[in-house]
Amino acid sequence: MIGREASSAVFPAISPATYRPHPLHASDRAWPETNCYVDLWIEALATAGLIPEAMLGFTLVQDFEGDQFTFFKVPLDDLERLYGITCAELTLYDSVENHVATQLDRGRLCLVEMDSFHLPDTAGINYHIAHGKTTIGINRIDIGGRGLEYFHNGGYFALSGEDYSGAFQHAVEPVQRWIPYTEIVRLPAASPTPDHQRRVADALLGHHLTRRPAANPLATFADVFPGQVGRVAERGIDFFHLYAFNTVRQFGANFELLASHLDWLDADRFAEEVAAARTISTTAKTTQFMLARAVARGRFEPLASALDPAIEAWDALFAGLDAKAG
């Protein structure tokens, strides 16, 4: 056995009982949660005393991929430039738990793909209801006591007992176990200053601006949206939720984060662009409600123009950024 029975914690002072999520996950936001990868980074960075808003310039590059919007993830190079954080894939040749315990003892957070069926924080959605791939950030593990504490979505949680055994596939023969993709996060010995994070974020904004889609992705999506919805309606409510998460929710959450990034970077300089990004986000929210009604009623005509405000806002947003940050 490589790891100890009970590991050290990267952040020993936090506990699920007293943890308070970062304001980017506040309940009054249009999208209090975005996607599992970005959400856990927001909470882990904040817990490390770093500024999560600084990393969000990468949201500029989101595109429509034909069947979904880009599942937006912070580039690892950005994390290193902004915070001095490096990440590496963890090769698994022993049990996942043993590797995780070893890395936690070295002060490294472990990002591990898990089945959300076994994660108590997804109660009412996937927990003991449906299987789904998600990523958690493990901060503490107790192999002998069958328990762990982890960052996931907009908070910090714990699981134990049968959920622990399910998460690590104890009932599955070793040769048949799914091997999860796992990363280790090496935090810097000394945190960069807020001024450094702001300077690098400003430079990254210009970099990501050059990487934005060649055509307005919301206009591209609008061309196929009504037709896709008709096919979605034929496949039932569960498929509808999957479709909505990977389309309107993805771009809605993405652009709300961009608004927060620009507001943090320079609220006065980017006031118009912040407003445009928020228009995209709120239009996505409205469209999601319209989509649910359309599927329930079998009437898709109102969706034809639902995205128009977001399409116009995307053009205005990037025209403004080209003038101010290009």
Residue 7 lies in a domain: no
pLDDT 10s digits, 143-186: 999 999 999 999 999 999 999 999 999 999 988 888 999 999 99
pLDDT attached to residue 304: 78
Q: What angle is formed at CA 203 by the lines to CA 197 and CA 205, rounded to 5 degrees?
A: 100
Which one-letter DSSP state was computed for residue 91? P
Task: Verify that 89 and 166 share a domain, yes or no.
Answer: yes
pLDDT attached to residue 196: 98
Residue whose C-alpha is closest to residue 88's, from 31, 47, 99, 17: 99
Residue 192 lies in a domain: no
Q: Residue 258 belongs to what domain range?
A: 213-325
Range with the poorest average pLDDT among 66-75, 263-272, 286-295: 286-295
Task: Verify that 230 and 289 share a domain, yes or no.
Answer: yes
Residue 172 lies in a domain: yes
Asked if pLDDT for residue 250 goes beyond 90, the answer is: yes
Range with the poorest average pLDDT among 6-15, 66-75, 86-95: 6-15
Residue 178 lies in a domain: yes
Instruction: Among 171, 186, 201, give the residue marking a domain's end.
Output: 186
Residue 68 lies in a domain: no
Task: Verify that 281 and 318 share a domain, yes or no.
Answer: yes
Residue whose C-alpha is closest to residue 92's, from 154, 190, 178, 210: 178
pLDDT 10s digits, 305-317: 999 999 999 999 9
Q: For the whole model, what pTM was predicted?
A: 0.94
Task: Verify that 131 and 31 share a domain, yes or no.
Answer: yes
pLDDT attached to residue 4: 53
Asked if pLDDT for residue 248 goes beyond 60, the answer is: yes
Task: Verify that 181 and 220 share a domain, yes or no.
Answer: no
What is the pLDDT of the chain when averaged over all its residues? Answer: 94
Task: Verify that 41 and 84 share a domain, yes or no.
Answer: yes
Residue 116 lies in a domain: yes
What stretches of 210-307 show up as alpha helix (H) in DSSP? 217-233, 237-246, 248-266, 271-297
Number of compact structural domains in the chain: 2
Residue 288 lies in a domain: yes
Name the strand (E) or helix (H) holding 167: helix 161-167
pLDDT attached to residue 3: 47
Residue whose C-alpha is closest to residue 88's, from 67, 73, 109: 109
Instruction: Among 136, 171, 186, give the residue marking a domain's end.
Output: 186
Task: Verify that 171 and 264 share a domain, yes or no.
Answer: no
Task: Verify that 146 and 253 share a domain, yes or no.
Answer: no
Residue 15 lies in a domain: no
pLDDT 10s digits, 14-42: 999 999 999 999 999 999 999 999 999 99
Instruction: Among 186, 202, 227, give the residue marking a domain's end.
Output: 186
Asked if pLDDT for residue 55 goes beyond 60, the answer is: yes
Task: Verify that 173 and 41 share a domain, yes or no.
Answer: yes
Task: Verify that 149 and 51 share a domain, yes or no.
Answer: yes
Count the helix, strand and coil residues of the chain and give each as a percent rounded to the nearest 5.
50, 15, 35
Task: Verify that 52 and 181 share a domain, yes or no.
Answer: yes
pLDDT attached to residue 237: 82
Asked if pLDDT for residue 2 goes beyond 70, the answer is: no
Task: Verify that 147 and 264 share a domain, yes or no.
Answer: no
